[in-house]
Amino acid sequence: MNSFFEVPAGKTRLSVVFMALLLLHVSMKFWLGGHIIDLKLTGDENAYSDAAMALSNLVRDLLSLSPPDASQIGRSVVGNGWFMPGMAVLLTPLYLVVSDPSILAVRIYMGLLSLGALLWALRSAYKNLGPAYALALLAFPSVAPIWVLFSFTAWGDLYAGLLLVVLLCHSLALLRNFREQQQIRLWDGAKLGVLAISCLYLRSSVLPLIPLLFAFLGAGLMMLAKGSSRIQGVKALAMGAIAFVALLLPWSITASAFLKSRVVTTTTVPISMAVAFGNPNQLCFGSCGKGNIWFNSVRYSKQIAAMRGEDEITVQKSMSRYAMRHVTARSYSAKVLTNIRRYAFFPSAFVKHFLSSEKSKAYAAEKPLYEKFIDAGTRYPYYLFLLMMAISWFVVKRRSVEKQLESLLLKLFTVAMLAQPFVHISGGRYWTVFAPLCALSAAFVMTTALQRVHKTPGPPAMILEASEEKALFYLQVAFAIALTFGAAILLWLGNS
């Protein structure tokens, strides 16, 4: 593969477009970032900030050989068990340098960090998938105004989305090595585990993807690798699983000890299921009272747990069952559809949030088209790339292992990232998780279409044997059929 930013022979025009889009992204960061540089931390950002401060204090205590403040870790890092500490870890270096950074410092730090994450994703896409994929990733979401604004925030969704690109590219490289019987190192497996746990730490909704990805890679290993390469591959995947579990354990053990219940990732699912699909007015075995239902329900669960001598997580699960006792397949499906609409079809939902800073307010008052630019500049490209992602689910490749594996991996990643609306309340912030995957899917559709128009053959060295080729073909067909029937059933139940 070509190195990053190299100008391939005959590709000068493509390289110019690539560099122009990258410069446009950086220019938009300077322009739009200047308008929200004073935007106060809100919601989850405050929790991540408190957790980062606690982690920075923990590091200082360890370096000075002082006993760490366990109560601060439990209170600020674990809290109610709602947030995994990935975003807090990313913020910790800033809090190590400045114990109480200003809003300006946080926004600048996140803007620089997000630019680094984007460049990493671009390099991975360019190296493992090709220039067209990196170009698509630059076209969207990198120059979508709201995505650029999100790149200055301390939410983990955007970073998880970019890291998913790196994870997909590394998975494809592993499959390629399996087929070509190349040396498969334990480090390759460890890197897989580290990337997977990093995605999970940044966004817990990645969880459904992880076991599916390991199962897919295991099946690919058995199909593609032969002899010693297969043994090396098994060792590498085992190392990946070990690395994943080893890095998950510190969080799980700490959260479980503090909450006195088994916690694997987060504790939000029971309450979220009740709020999203049940009757929120019955969550506290009746009304939870006025105010934030999340905090009120947790406060109530602590009170009941103290009375019963149970842990609060067990109580929350019983509260959730009570609030969902009348849920049927039809009512659940109807609310899933509503949740999907909030999750995937309102990319501009946070426009008002970003216009709330003093500088942004002043600029919007002076330039009436500012808000419309942010809104339209995000919505229209987003819907186009979302459509391309949907089309990619039904594109079936008959030949070329490269395209077949790309097809299956993209289907696996994108569909797994659409699992959240089935188990968790959704909103207009989460599209940043799967937006980069939309770009890769669009590139896959376009390159496939161009290959068919120009009848470009796949790489000769990567053509599978007939039986293996058929197996991958039928797997793509089965996916398309299963997705069609699943969507049909959901629509029928939800609209009946």
Tell me 78's DSSP state: I
Cα–Cα nearest to 217, from 253, 167, 257: 167
What would the two tokens of residue 259 be? 């909450």
Burial readout 38-74 (b: 16 or more C-beta within 10 A, e: otherwise) = ebebeebbebbbbbbbbbbbbeeeeeeeeeeeeebbb
CB 385 within 8 A of CB 463: no
d(C-alpha 398, C-alpha 474), whole Å: 9
> For position 455, what pLDDT does the model report?
61
Q: Name, in order, each residue with C-beta under 8 angstroms of 346's C-beta and a sequence gap of 6 or more.
A: 427, 428
DSSP string for 260-287:
TS--SS-SHHHHHHHHHHS-GGGTTSS-
> For position 353, what pLDDT does the model report?
92
CA angle 138/142/144 to nearest 5° reads: 125
d(C-alpha 150, C-alpha 154), whole Å: 8
> For position 7, what pLDDT does the model report?
41
CB 200 within 8 A of CB 445: no
d(C-alpha 91, C-alpha 110), whole Å: 8
Q: Which contacts qualify for 382-388: CB closer than 8 Å, 24 or more apart?
A: 382/140, 382/141, 382/144, 382/347, 382/431, 382/435, 382/438, 384/140, 384/442, 385/140, 385/141, 385/435, 385/438, 385/439, 385/441, 385/442, 386/344, 386/438, 388/438, 388/441, 388/442, 388/445, 388/446
Dihedral class, residue 50 (left if φ above 0, else alpha if ψ from -120 to 50, else beta)? alpha
> For position 465, what pLDDT does the model report?
56
pLDDT along the chain (496 residues), means of 10: 46 81 96 93 93 95 88 92 95 94 96 97 95 94 97 96 98 91 87 97 95 95 86 95 97 94 93 93 92 93 92 94 94 95 94 91 88 94 97 89 90 95 91 97 92 59 59 91 94 89
> For position 8, what pLDDT does the model report?
47
48, 353, 356 from 109: Cα distances, Å: 14, 20, 20
Distance of CA 204 to the CA centre of its chain: 8
Report CA Rg, the chain: 24
CB 181 within 8 A of CB 137: no
Cα–Cα nearest to 349, from 426, 440, 420: 426
Q: Which contacts qualify for 292-301: CB closer than 8 Å, 24 or more apart?
A: 294/82, 297/271, 298/80, 298/271
> For position 224, what pLDDT does the model report?
87
> For position 216, what pLDDT does the model report?
96
> For position 277, what pLDDT does the model report?
94
d(C-alpha 341, C-alpha 229), whole Å: 45
Burial readout 343-362 (b: 16 or more C-beta within 10 A, e: otherwise) = bbebbbebbebbbebeebee
Q: Name, in order, each residue with C-beta under 8 angstroms of 78's C-beta and a sequence gap of 6 or more.
A: 254, 255, 258, 259
Burial readout 454-473 (b: 16 or more C-beta within 10 A, e: otherwise) = eeeebeeebebeeeebeebb
d(C-alpha 440, C-alpha 446), whole Å: 10
What would the two tokens of residue 329 be? 């397949």
> For position 11, what pLDDT does the model report?
61
Q: Helices 401-416 & 369-392, crossing angle to 10 degrees?
A: 120
Distance of CA 398 to the CA centre of its chain: 30
CB 119 within 8 A of CB 137: no
Q: Report which secondary-structure segment, H or E, holds 419.
A: none
